[in-house]
Amino acid sequence: MAQESGIKKIMGKIFRGPKGMFATLLLLGILMVVVVLPLLGAISSARAGLLDTQEKLQRLIPSIYKLSRQMERVRRMRLELLDMKNRYGGADRAEKVFHLLTSVAAEHKVKISSLEPKPKEQKGVFIRIPVRLTLACRYADLAKYLNAITSAEYICVVTSLSITENRELYPEVSVDMQIELVFVDPYVEVGE
């Protein structure tokens, strides 16, 4: 306690009067140079680092957004393929048949307005896929198209066919037809 009051006396003498004011300013200057300026430098460099990081993140955000959209597309495609496999007895087989229907249409100048596959029906070893088609074409082109799809390597049965004249399409007609694509399920043994 005695030592503490001695320090107070010395400090009181140092900081009194014009010399005290000079000593206080000198002490504040040293404090500023030793503590505050390095701290301000560290804050400034940290701020510059944060701004740089923020700029990099701003450049990355569009890429992250694109990647996210692409991953969502991949997820949807996987679900569609799984759905095709469940609905049509195999994604590869269904894809080949739908490609056949559209490519043969293009070859014979037949315009497909809509192609709506329905869920598959399975009876024993046979898988049937009903498909509803809406077409626009000339009579001769329709005959060639029907001949091509019913004589392909897949069994294709036309179950209904409706031809309507449409003055807006002349000389083409509007065709609404229902077909059934028939496959043999390779996973079912005959006699089961």
Same domain, 52 and 134: no
Whether 106 contacts 152, CB under 8 Å: no
What is the Cα–Cα distance from 56 to 21, expressed in whole angstroms? 50
Same domain, 95 and 44: no
Q: What domain range is 1 assigned to?
A: 1-88
- Amino acid (1-letter code) at residue 88: Y
Same domain, 16 and 29: yes
- Amino acid (1-letter code) at residue 141: D
How many residues would you count in the chain?
A: 192
**38 pLDDT higher than 50:** yes
**Residue 145 pLDDT level (bands cut at 50, 70, 90):** very high
Same domain, 84 and 95: no
Same domain, 107 and 178: yes
Q: Which of 45, 61, 88 is at the close of a domain?
A: 88
| Average pLDDT for the chain | 78
Average pLDDT on 89-106 reads 74
What percent of the chain is modeled with pLDDT above 70? 75
Q: Which of 88, 122, 154 is at the close of a domain?
A: 88
Same domain, 78 and 13: yes
**170 pLDDT higher than 50:** yes
Q: Which of 26, 55, 88 is at the close of a domain?
A: 88
Q: Which CATH number characterizes residue 116's domain?
A: 3.30.70.60
3-class SS letters over the chain: CHHHHHHHHHHHHHCCHHHHHHHHHHHHHHHHHHHHHHHHHHHHHHHHHHHHHHHHHHHHHHHHHHHHHHHHHHHHHHHHHHHHHHHHCCHHHHHHHHHHHHHHHHHCCCEEEEEEECCCEEECCEEEEEEEEEEEECHHHHHHHHHHHHCCCCEEEEEEEEEEECCCCCCCEEEEEEEEEEEECCCCCCCC
* pLDDT digits 0-9 by tens, 43-92: 888 888 888 888 888 888 888 888 888 888 778 776 765 665 555 555 45
Note the pTM of the prediction, 2 decimals.
0.49
Average pLDDT on 152-174 reads 85
Same domain, 37 and 116: no
Same domain, 101 and 25: no
Average pLDDT on 5-31 reads 67
Same domain, 117 and 61: no
- Residue tagged 């969502």 (tokens): 72
CB neighbours (10 Å) of residue 105?
20
**125 pLDDT higher than 60:** yes
Same domain, 82 and 95: no
- Domain membership of residue 50 (yes or no) is yes
In degrees and rounded to multiples of 5, residue 64 shows phi and psi of -65, -40
Average pLDDT on 119-126 reads 78
pLDDT for position 64: 84
**Residue 192 pLDDT level (bands cut at 50, 70, 90):** very low
Looking at per-residue pLDDT, the higher value among 114 and 127 belongs to 114
Burial class (CB in 10 A: 0-12, 13-18, 19+), 149: buried
Same domain, 164 and 98: yes
pLDDT for position 188: 62
Which structure tokens are listed for 29?
Answer: 């200057």
Same domain, 80 and 104: no
What is the Cα–Cα distance from 98 to 149, expressed in whole angstroms? 11
Q: How many domains does the chain have?
A: 2
Q: Smallest Cα–Cα separation from 134: which of 94, 174, 179, 181? A: 174
